Amino acid sequence: MQYDNLRYRLLPYIYSLAWKTTSESYTPMRPLVMDFRIDVNAQNIGDQFMYGPAILVNPVTEPGATTRHLYLPKAKWYDFWTGAPTDVAAESGKFVDAPATLDRMPLYVRAGSIIPMGPEEEYSNQKPADPIELRVYAGADGDFTLYEDEGDTYNYEKGKYATIPIHWNDASRTLTIGERKGSFQGMLPNRTFNMVFVGQEHGGGAEAAAAPDKVVHYSGKEVSVVM
């Protein structure tokens, strides 16, 4: 059930990656060497992958395993489930033994990531994707483009879709939600974004944060928020 909930909550992220794949020939699932090209260790990792720009996925394939030996390239990483940060400063990266249970495959999020998450639901389009929870992982600048369309037609091929650029400036700790471009039938003209600044025991896991750090009411015009 944990994974079902995670999958549906990640739909805004996943759907945006699908659009990026269609429009830019993007590769949403990538071996580590594609993102960390000068990392010698990454060249030999065949059982971990990046899912989009943010999430490092570490499948557990050993029966009965309770830990997963995995590699973290040089970067600041956050445990997706707990929000706990890990700084990897060495050029050679770091090998760690992460807890691995049936309902918690080790997932890490790279600093600078912005992950949009939708409501809990049992099937896609069960509920309007409002509010959107924007999880921000500090430690580097970052960008993400949120993509939306009708969800059940091919009208996106006729230009019926909308994109919202989102930028995180780490030095000023400012999140900018840019001007919306495009439109489609049924588009929500006004949106609510719940900002969550992820940290130790805050903003982790598949469930929505109990209390967002900021709430932004968005009408399609650029707005900036200091976190």
Q: How do beta strands 191-197 and 132-136 pair?
A: parallel
Place of tokens 């900018």: 176
Instruction: Centre a 10 Å sphere on the Cβ of residue 69 and count the other Cβ atoms it contains.
Output: 14
Cis preceding-peptide flag for 189 (omega within 30 of 0): no
Q: Of 156, 145, 150, whose CA–CA distance to 179 is shortest?
A: 145
Q: How do beta strands 161-169 and 114-117 pair?
A: unpaired
Q: Which domains does the chain have, with CATH numbers?
A: 2-110 (2.60.40.1180), 114-226 (2.60.40.1180)
pLDDT of residue 36: 95
pLDDT of residue 129: 73
pLDDT of residue 126: 62
Tokens at 39, concatenated: 């990392």
- State the chain's maximal CA–CA distance in angstroms: 51
Distance CA 169, CA 100 (A): 33
Distance CA 203, CA 196 (A): 6
Contact 184, 155 (CB under 8 A): yes
Contact 166, 146 (CB under 8 A): yes
**pLDDT one digit per residue (tens) for the chain, 227 residues:** 678 889 989 999 999 999 999 999 999 999 999 999 999 999 999 999 999 999 999 999 988 899 999 999 999 999 999 999 998 887 779 999 999 988 899 999 999 999 999 988 776 776 677 899 999 999 999 999 999 999 999 999 999 999 999 999 999 999 999 999 999 999 999 999 999 999 998 999 988 888 899 999 999 999 999 98
pLDDT of residue 185: 94
pTM for the complete prediction?
A: 0.94
Helix (H) / strand (E) element for 73: namely none
25: left (phi over 0), alpha (psi -120 to 50) or beta: left
pLDDT of residue 210: 82
Cis preceding-peptide flag for 131 (omega within 30 of 0): yes
